[in-house]
Amino acid sequence: MEVKQVTKAIDDQIVLQNISFQLKQGEITALIGRNGVGKTTLFSTISGIYTADSGEILINGVNLAVNPALKRQIFFLEDSMNYFNTYNVKAVVKLYKSIYLDFDEESFANLLARFDMNEKTKIISFSKGRKALFFMILAFSLNVKYLLLDEPLEGLDVLIKKELLAFLKEQAREKGTSILIASHRLDELETIADRVLLLKGTGLELDLYLDTLRAETLKIQVAFRTKGVPDFVKKEAQLLSRNGRIYTIFISNEVDAFTARLEEEKPILYEELVMTIEDVFQLYLTEEKIDYLEL
């Protein structure tokens, strides 16, 4: 799928402007950004609930607006699916089977049994976590190529979250489904995401693979022997956090040269850390600047 130069306004207010990216087979992509930045609007536009004001959503080079049948390759699990509350599992499946033509009966039955669900159970009787799990089971049984998940982990207990996250990774790997997931719980996205898309303002600020980020940049926790911080550190590194005289810094350019100079300072603490999605969020979206405190 290619999202190409998509712009969308709501009530004459531009929410998304010139958004472009691709979703690839078998990848799990985390969509992050501040509250109200337009994540749900983006999901709704990709899935066809909203029509883009300009730009295109393409599958295999074909515009969804020209060939709406391609929407059968997409499943959008919204934050709330309450309009199905009066239905039981069997009725919901019947409805979706009439729309999605590649429904896998055997896979669906096996997954229902695996997670101890009954076709006669009404959706309203499910907890939020069980409801999310059911719709994910349904989505993967429909054999869609693209699964859009808007805050599917919100309000769930630890055990059901682990179950859902493991299930997503498993299905993406086995079925080759491309998953785009938004969640405020960045630590949980960390366990499954291959890639991060970051929305800021009305645009796409960042599109990166976590493995590439970690290979080409460095996060260091450091404390110096002297009270002052070397000038080259202030100039060339970004400060992520400070705890007394312990600094956590991010270096994105000429990493080897920077670390060599840092070692010459003979710091009393030097530890290389793993970059996280939360670090990415902080680097690009935190407005309050952290200052070096030289005691």
pLDDT tens track for 63-108: 999 999 999 999 998 877 888 999 999 999 999 999 888 899 899 9
Q: Where would I find the beta strands (DSSP E) of 65-217?
A: 74-77, 146-150, 178-182, 195-200, 203-209
Q: What value does the mean pLDDT take over residues 16-39?
A: 95
Residue 34 vs residue 156, higher pLDDT: 34
Backbone angles phi, psi at 122, to 5 degrees: -80, 145
Q: Out of 78-82, 89-93, 165-169, 282-286, pick the least confident.
A: 78-82
pLDDT per position as a tens digit, 190-200 = 999 999 999 99
Q: Where would I find the beta strands (DSSP E) of 116-183?
A: 146-150, 178-182
For the chain, percent of residues with pLDDT exceeding 90: 70
Q: Is 24 in contact with 191 (CB distance < 8 Å)? A: no
Domain ranges of the chain: 2-210, 217-285
Mean pLDDT, the chain, rounded, equals: 91
Q: Is 46 in contact with 16 (CB distance < 8 Å)? A: no
Residue 287 vs residue 165, higher pLDDT: 165
Q: Top-level CATH class of 2-210?
A: alpha beta
| CA atoms within 13 A of residue 152's CA, in its CB half-sphere | 28
pLDDT-based confidence at residue 292 (cuts at 50, 70, 90)? confident
Backbone angles phi, psi at 71, to 5 degrees: -65, -15
State the fold for domain 217-285: Alpha-Beta Plaits (3.30.70)
Q: Where would I find the beta strands (DSSP E) of 36-94?
A: 54-59, 62-63, 74-77
